[in-house]
């Protein structure tokens, strides 16, 4: 009997730098390295590979402002079948992961899904918590930091990395996975891919269509009080010497004297 196709949803978050740049408060003035949070790109790549093996569909799901459409469009160009963008009509740029998880839950409860993939980290340092929070809200199992997966019928077996080694675990679908960095190398977006993406549907939903005002205003939003960029506090001292030995001795002396290390 052929394995059943897998209906997948991969969440895509816009890279934080791009969001901030769009709102004029970019932390980094450098050219964007990514449009999508790079961890979400890894999650999406894994979803595409699962589709190649098992069939089914991949939907890219995002919550954001109009600027976020670029991230969903990019996911379509990589190969996702369709996109869903839930428009954030709330004031402020800071999006609490609990709010995002709550909104994804409301949407996902209305559609059938076998596997949800999210990145295991986010560059701003908090929004990757959407994955475990979403799994909890949907009462489905969550396996995080997955470095390898294999679907067998209605079961998924994953190898995950932990701070002290690796664990192999198995759980029934539907489930949520967060993907570890290094799980795969996300494919490049090609020109034909971009052209195909233009023809693919993006379902743009207003927040009020999926959530009543009460459910949203009920959420207590964190409020940013201060935001301070840490300065580069390092001033380089090169170890000098005629030979490697001399350089190394100079380095050890500096480490010993100036920093009390060693």
Partner 1 sequence: MSSSILVITEHNQHRFSKSTFRLLSMAREMSGKTKHSVSAFVPGRISSKALKKLTAYGADRIVLVENGKLDSFSLDIYTHVVSSIVLKENAGIVFLNNSTSHQELSAALAARLRAGCAINCTDVQKLKKGFLVSKYMYGVKAKTKFKLSNKILIAAMHTLEFKSIPSKGAGRIVKQIIPVPDSQVNILERNIDKSHSPLSRAKVVISGGRGIGGPDFSILEQLAKELNGAVGASRSAVDAGWRPASHQIGQTGTIVSPDLYIACGISGANQHLAGIAGSKIVAAVNKDADAPIFSKSDYGIQGDLFEIVPCLIKELKAFKSRQNH
Interface with partner 1 in residues 20-59 (CB under 8 A): 27, 30, 33, 38-39, 42
Which of 88, 87, 57, 98 is closest to 75 using CA atoms? Answer: 57
How near is the Cβ of 207 to partner 1 at its closest, in Å?
19
How near is the Cβ of 196 to partner 1 at its closest, in Å?
27
Please select the residue that binds partner 1; options are 22, 98, 189, 205, rule is CB under 8 A: 98
Q: How far is CA 231 from CA 15, 123, 124, in A?
A: 22, 18, 17
How near is the Cβ of 57 to partner 1 at its closest, in Å?
24
Contact criterion met (CB below 8 Å) for 219 and 97: no
Question: Nearer Cβ to partner 1, position 201 or 222?
Answer: 222
How near is the Cβ of 182 to partner 1 at its closest, in Å?
3
CA–CA distance, 77 with 86 (Å, rounded to integer)? 19
Question: Nearer Cβ to partner 1, position 183 or 197?
Answer: 183
How near is the Cβ of 181 to partner 1 at its closest, in Å?
4
CA–CA distance, 117 with 40 (Å, rounded to integer)? 8
Question: Nearer Cβ to partner 1, position 213 or 235?
Answer: 235
Please select the residue that binds partner 1; options are 21, 132, 207, 210, rule is CB under 8 A: 132
Measure the N-to-C terminal CA separation of the chain; round to a whole number of Å.
Answer: 64
Report the site for partner 1 in 142-201 (rule: CB under 8 A). Answer: 142-145, 147, 157, 161-172, 180-183, 185
**Residues binding partner 1: number (CB under 8 A):** 79
Question: Nearer Cβ to partner 1, position 90 or 254?
Answer: 254
Report the site for partner 1 in 106-125 (rule: CB under 8 A). Answer: 121, 123-125
How near is the Cβ of 185 to partner 1 at its closest, in Å?
7
- Other Cβ atoms within 10 Å of 144 Cβ, number: 19
CA–CA distance, 92 with 155 (Å, rounded to integer)? 41
Question: Nearer Cβ to partner 1, position 74 or 105?
Answer: 105
- Other Cβ atoms within 10 Å of 212 Cβ, number: 10
Which of 259, 119, 225 is closest to 178 using CA atoms? Answer: 119
Report the site for partner 1 in 217-256 (rule: CB under 8 A). Answer: 220, 222-230, 232, 234-239, 244-245, 247-249, 251-252, 254-256
Query: Is the previous residue joined to 159 through a cis bond, with omega within 30 degrees of 0?
Result: no
Contact criterion met (CB below 8 Å) for 3 and 153: yes
- Other Cβ atoms within 10 Å of 204 Cβ, number: 14
């Amino acid at each position: 009997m052929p394995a059943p196709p897998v209906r997948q949803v991969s969440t895509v978050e816009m890279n934080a730098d791009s969001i901030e740049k769009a709102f004029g408060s970019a932390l980094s003035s450098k050219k964007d390295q990514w449009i999508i949070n790079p961890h979400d790109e890894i999650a999406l790549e894994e979803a595409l590979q699962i589709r190649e093996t098992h069939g089914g569909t991949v939907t890219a799901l995002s919550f954001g402002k109009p600027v976020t459409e670029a991230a969903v469009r990019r996911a379509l160009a990589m190969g996702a079948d369709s996109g869903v963008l839930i428009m954030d009509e709330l004031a402020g740029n800071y999006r609490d992961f609990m709010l995002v998880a709550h909104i994804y839950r409301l949407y996902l409860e209305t559609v059938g899904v076998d596997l949800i993939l999210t990145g295991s980290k986010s560059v701003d340092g908090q929004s990757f918590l959407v994955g475990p929070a979403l799994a909890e809200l949907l009462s489905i199992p969550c396996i995080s930091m997955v470095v390898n997966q294999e679907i067998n019928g209605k079961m998924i077996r994953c190898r995950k990395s932990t701070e002290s080694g690796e664990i192999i675990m198995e759980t029934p679908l539907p489930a949520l996975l967060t993907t570890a960095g290094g799980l795969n190398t996300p494919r490049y977006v090609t020109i034909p891919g971009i052209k195909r993406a233009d023809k693919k549907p993006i379902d743009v939903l207003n927040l009020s269509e999926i959530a009543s005002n009460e459910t949203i205003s009920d959420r207590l939003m964190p409020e940013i009080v201060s935001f301070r960029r840490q300065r580069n506090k390092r001033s380089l001292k090169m170890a000098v010497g005629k030979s490697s030995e001399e350089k190394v001795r100079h380095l050890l002396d500096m480490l010993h004297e100036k920093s009390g290390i060693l």
